[in-house]
Amino acid sequence: MDGNGRWAERRHRPRSFGHRAGAAAVRRSVEFCVRHGIEALTLFAFSSENWQRPKSEVSALQRLLLRSLEREVEDLHGNGVRLRFIGGLEAFPDELVARMHKAEVRTFDNKALALNVALNYGGRWDLTQACRRLCERVRAGELEPAAISEADLARELALADLPEPDLFIRTGGEYRISNFLLWQLAYSELHFTDVLWPDFGPLALEQAVREFAGRERRFGKTGAQVRGA
């Protein structure tokens, strides 16, 4: 969800103004996914590299997240959305972590949409955590190193209980995945747009989905095999 700061700067407003506008774009995207029966939506809200930003901006983002949890959780719950947070959450203030946990418990049984919010997350962190868990299983005698498979590693990753993403969307005119879901995106379709995140609405999201629907996904096969020719 890139472009909040630039969106605000173009309006001669503080970056926090852009982050608040970005929160409205999150709401629109969630509503779109619920309305169209999309199974899962994962939002890269705060990367492990974002701690390098000015402290004032990081603090403003944390306050915004806390306020959003206070305002939005009941609406999410009422619309059947399950909310989950992934990443190194222990780095955040205790009050915020407690709110996240409360929101996860409140929405746990919901089925309409799995909404995952990545905070202090990085794809390399995810893979490292998975490797550590596999090492613990080896040390406990539960697993032989030579027997470790791709499936074993995948089961230890964040969001292991969900299908791998079909579509990756990057807003803001940047053409990289920025350490997001490195393993899970191996066969995802990529969509890059110049639209800044606060301006990203249902039309832009529908355009991305329509473009995705028109692509031929071969997964190593030939086009003729996929088409059954």
Tell me how far apart the alpha carbons of residues 93 and 115 are, in angstroms, rounded to a whole number: 22
Tell me if 207 is assigned to some domain: yes
Tell me, what's the pLDDT at 108?
98
Return the HEC string of the chain: CCCHHHHHHCCCCCHHHHHHHHHHHHHHHHHHHHHCCCCEEEEEEEECCHHHCCHHHHHHHHHHHHHHHHHHHHHHHHCCEEEEEECCHHHCCHHHHHHHHHHHHHHCCCCCEEEEEEEEECHHHHHHHHHHHHHHHHHCCCCCHHHCCHHHHHHCCCCCCCCCCCEEEECCCCCCCCCCCCCCCCCCEEEECCCCHHHCCHHHHHHHHHHHHCCCCCCCCCHHHHHCC
How far is CA 32 from its chain centroid? 16
Tell me how far apart the alpha carbons of residues 227 and 229 are, in angstroms, rounded to a whole number: 5
Tell me if 223 is assigned to some domain: no
Tell me, what's the pLDDT at 228?
78
Residues in the chain: 229
144: which strand partners?
none
Mean pLDDT of the chain: 95
Tell me if 220 is assigned to some domain: no
Tell me if 53 is assigned to some domain: yes
Tell me if 229 is assigned to some domain: no
Q: Give me the percent of the chain exceeding a pLDDT of 70.
A: 100
List 50, 79, 110, 179, catalytic entry: 50
pLDDT at 225 over 80: no
Tell me if 36 is assigned to some domain: yes
Q: Output the six-digit token pair for 227.
A: 């088409």
b/e per residue, 158-171, with b = 16+ CB within 10 A?
bbeeeebbbbbbbb
Overall number of domains in the chain: 1
Amino acid, single-letter form, for residue 147: A
199 annotated active-site = no
CA torsion angle 214 43 30 5 (round to 10): -100
| pTM higher than the cut 0.75 | yes
Provide mean pLDDT across the span 16-41: 96
Q: What is the CATH number of the domain that holds 108?
A: 3.40.1180.10
pLDDT per residue over 191-204, tens digit each?
999 999 999 999 99
Quickly state the pLDDT bin for 173 (edges 50, 70, 90). very high
Tell me how far apart the alpha carbons of residues 153 and 166 are, in angstroms, rounded to a whole number: 20
Nearest to 42 by CA among 197, 165, 132, 189: 165
Rounded to 5 degrees, φ, ψ at 212 are -60, -45
- Domain with 209, as residue range(s), is 4-213
Tell me if 205 is assigned to some domain: yes
pLDDT per residue over 134-166, tens digit each?
999 999 999 999 999 999 999 999 999 999 999
Tell me, what's the pLDDT at 229?
59
pLDDT at 18 over 70: yes
pLDDT at 209 over 80: yes
2 annotated active-site = yes
Tell me if 218 is assigned to some domain: no
Provide mean pLDDT across the span 120-146: 97
